[in-house]
Every structure is written in structure tokens, then in C-alpha cells.
Amino acid sequence: MSGGSERKAEISFADFDKVDIRAGTIVAAEPYPEARKPAIKLTIDFGSVIGIKKSSAQITRHYDPQTLVGRQVFAVVNFPPRQIGKFMSEVLTLGFPDSEGEVVLGAIDLKVPDGGRLF
């Protein structure tokens, strides 16, 4: 997740439609202090079609691993996996920067089916 408030170039709906953003439930979370920037390793259930995926998220400022299990999050599921130190991150968990640039996870305020696509 990267910060930045600059406005990006316009894209078409077809471009947006290529980004596959899904809802998933965090089923496990553990500290990842050996990452270049402290992070939390997330294991996220995206339902039967996509399955269980892993993500490294730089969210240590506002979140403790034990409070994340059971929480639903948004993630981009169709980027190629990315090596983060010794950990392979398979999806990009989404959030917004707070006033100090620290990541705040996007919220789903009512339970939705895991794997549901943002539209």
C-alpha cells in the first residue's frame, strides 16, 4: 500500500474493470518484524472460488495481529505475487493513509460473502 494524495490520470471503466478487488475475512495474522518496514502477515479467506491467500500489510501503527482475525478487508487479488523479504505476498490489502501517512484499513460495515467483488 502506498500513500500519496496526488491525483492520478483518468482511466476508462474498462481499465478499472481489470482490477479485481474482493472482500475476504482475515483468518490468521502474525507480526512480521523482519520486513524492511514492520508489517503484519495476513492470511485471508476469499471464499471457495479464490481460496485462502496471504498478504503482508504495513499496518502495525493502528492494528495488533490478534485484533484482526475475523475482520473483513478489501484486497486486489489479480496482481502477481510479490516477494516481501522471505514472505510471498499474494494479494494487496487496501487501506488509506491517515494524517501521518500510516495505513488505515478500508472498512466493510456489514458482512458480505467472502470473495464478493467490488463494483
Query: Is 45 inside any structural domain?
Result: yes
pTM of the shown model: 0.90
Query: Is 112 inside any structural domain?
Result: no
pLDDT score at 6: 76
- C-alpha 92/C-alpha 95 separation (Å) is 10
pLDDT score at 1: 47
Beta carbons of 36 and 88 less than 8 angstroms apart: no
User: Is residue 40 helix, strand or coil?
Assistant: strand
The domain in which residue 66 lies consists of 18-105
Tell me whether strands 87-89 and 82-84 are parallel, antiparallel or unpaired: antiparallel
- For each successive 10 residues of the chain (119 residues), what is the average pLDDT? 69 93 98 91 97 97 97 97 94 97 95 95
pLDDT score at 4: 58
pLDDT score at 119: 84
Query: Is 36 inside any structural domain?
Result: yes
Query: Is 3 inside any structural domain?
Result: no
Count of structural domains within the chain: 1
Query: Is 43 inside any structural domain?
Result: yes
Query: Is 117 inside any structural domain?
Result: no
Residue 39: which CATH number?
Answer: 2.40.50.140
